[in-house]
């Protein structure tokens, strides 16, 4: 499994009073032909799958649509973009620092690539006078970058954003994910697999191990993941 696409669930319910949602979805499909769209749900949610650049373009398209709504509707129906920003601010107590921080930059990352960067490239998320936090929702992690309320702080935040984006693009080219399914195995056998993977991790420190109840994900370069799985088979 390689990182060529991601699946995101979008809510277009905020547009219900101004557009026929089915027509809006058709417009979205024409705007983003490289994306695959699932069925529109009664609550206004729709699953979208495709590359990160295509999803970013679709997000910008929807944000432009949202900005065209009357101010009253914007207050009543916050966009997904705004809700994420508010959630991130609440998560780190940003209310106390709101006057000293610039507006946030948001970067969408594959959740597994984010975990890999946090484990092996932690300095990517460290910058002077910049606050970086993240919220993971399914397969997507939204990273929030805020600099001090000054010209220098804004420049630092923009540099941090570009570094995160460039690193994620490079990792998408070289990383792969292997999933070890534990469904159908008893509790004792699942525990044995997990313990064995933990022991093998010492031999393959360049592989990120992500254990879950139903499976174990291995994230790393093709060579590293292949070496780990071959040792696991033996």
Tokens for 75, please give them: 């207050």
- CATH architecture of structural domain 104-174: 2-Layer Sandwich (3.30)
Convert the pLDDT of each residue in 50-66 to its tens digit: 877 788 788 888 888 87
Reference 8, options 138, 172, 165, 177; nearest CA is 138
168: helix, strand or coil: helix
Q: What is the arithmetic mean of pLDDT over 99-113?
A: 72
Average pLDDT across the chain, whole number: 80
Rounded CA-CA distance 42/132 in Å is 35
Task: Give residue for tokens 């397969």.
Answer: 139
**Is this prediction's pTM over 0.85?**
no
Q: Where are the domains of the chain?
A: 1-66, 104-174, 176-233
Percent of the chain with pLDDT over 70: 83
| Residues in Cβ contact with 60 at an 8 Å cutoff, skipping those fewer than 6 apart | none
Rounded CA-CA distance 213/181 in Å is 10
Beta strands in the chain (DSSP E): 6-11, 36-37, 45-50, 105-110, 130-137, 140-147, 175-181, 208-211, 215-221
Convert the pLDDT of each residue in 168-212 to its tens digit: 889 988 999 998 888 777 777 888 888 898 899 989 999 999 988
CATH code: domain 1-66 is 3.30.1370.10
């Amino acid at each position: 499994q390689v990182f060529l696409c991601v699946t995101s669930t979008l809510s277009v319910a905020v547009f219900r009073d101004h557009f026929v949602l089915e027509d809006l979805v058709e417009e979205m499909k024409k705007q983003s032909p490289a994306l695959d769209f699932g069925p529109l749900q009664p609550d206004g949610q729709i699953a979208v799958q495709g590359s990160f650049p295509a999803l970013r373009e679709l997000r910008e398209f929807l944000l432009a649509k949202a900005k065209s709504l009357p101010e009253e509707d914007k207050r009543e129906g916050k966009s997904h973009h705004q809700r994420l920003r508010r959630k991130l601010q609440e998560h780190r107590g940003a209310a106390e620092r709101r006057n000293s921080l610039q507006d946030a930059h948001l970067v969408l990352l594959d959740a597994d690539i984010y975990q890999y960067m946090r484990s092996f490239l932690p300095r990517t998320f460290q910058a002077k006078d910049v606050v970086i936090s993240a919220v993971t929702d399914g397969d997507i992690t939204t990273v929030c970058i805020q600099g001090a309320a000054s010209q220098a702080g804004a420049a630092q935040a923009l540099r941090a954003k570009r570094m995160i984006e460039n690193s994620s693009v490079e990792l998408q080219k070289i990383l792969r994910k292997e999933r070890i399914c534990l469904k159908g195995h008893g509790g004792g056998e699942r525990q044995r697999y997990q313990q064995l993977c933990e022991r093998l991790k010492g031999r393959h420190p360049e592989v990120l191990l992500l254990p879950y109840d139903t499976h174990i994900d291995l994230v790393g370069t093709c060579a590293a993941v292949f070496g780990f799985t071959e040792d696991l088979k033996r």
